[in-house]
């Protein structure tokens, strides 16, 4: 009786494993189409700029992404809970914005940050153009 139960479990597991393997194999083929050009680009950059500069580029991008994710998280925490890194920033009368702690809050925050940085970039370019026209 006990071995019959194990056989059922084994059959179910192997059936699900086969289905999952077939799905992941198709997914892997699909991802290869998108990831292969990126891997070629990374290899091209490494051959063009050298190993050390490529490593520094990767480290710099990692630091930049870490800063961006930390900034988005800090804004969401500040507006959604009134705290920043666990410390209360606003007084007890603060009304948190509920959407900021939900998933759409990340999209709203990222959209507003992208808009802000695009506006800042536009202003800096206009200032640089005005400076080159005068000089």
Residue with tokens 């900034």: 71
SS3 76: helix
| 38: exposed, middle or buried (Cβ count in 10 Å: 0-12, 13-18, 19+) | exposed
Of 18, 104, 113, 118, which is closest to residue 75 (Cα–Cα)?
A: 113
Structure tokens at 107: 């999209």
Predicted local confidence at residue 107, as pLDDT:
94
Of the two residues 2 and 82, the one the predictor is more confident about is 82
Predicted local confidence at residue 37, as pLDDT:
64
135 vs 5: CA distance, rounded Å: 85
Model pLDDT for residues 35-75, shown as the tens digit of each residue = 666 666 667 677 777 778 878 887 888 899 999 999 999 99
SS3 1: coil
List Cβ<8 Å contacts ≥24 apart for 107-115.
109/72, 109/75, 109/76, 110/72, 113/71, 113/72, 113/75
Predicted local confidence at residue 21, as pLDDT:
67
Of the two residues 98 and 4, the one the predictor is more confident about is 98
Model pLDDT for residues 104-124, shown as the tens digit of each residue = 999 999 999 999 999 999 999
């Amino acid at each position: 009786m006990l071995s019959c139960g194990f056989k059922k479990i084994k059959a179910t597991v192997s059936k699900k494993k086969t289905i999952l393997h077939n799905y992941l194999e198709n997914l892997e083929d699909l991802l290869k189409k998108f990831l292969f050009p990126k891997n070629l680009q990374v290899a091209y950059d490494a051959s063009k700029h050298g190993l050390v500069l490529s490593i520094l580029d990767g480290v710099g991008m990692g630091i930049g992404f870490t800063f961006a994710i930390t900034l988005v998280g800090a804004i969401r925490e500040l507006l959604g809970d009134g705290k920043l890194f666990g410390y209360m920033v606003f007084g007890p009368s603060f009304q948190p914005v509920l959407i900021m702690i939900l998933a759409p809050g990340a999209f709203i925050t990222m959209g507003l940050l992208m808009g802000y940085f695009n506006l800042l970039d536009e202003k800096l370019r206009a200032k640089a153009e005005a400076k080159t026209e005068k000089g």
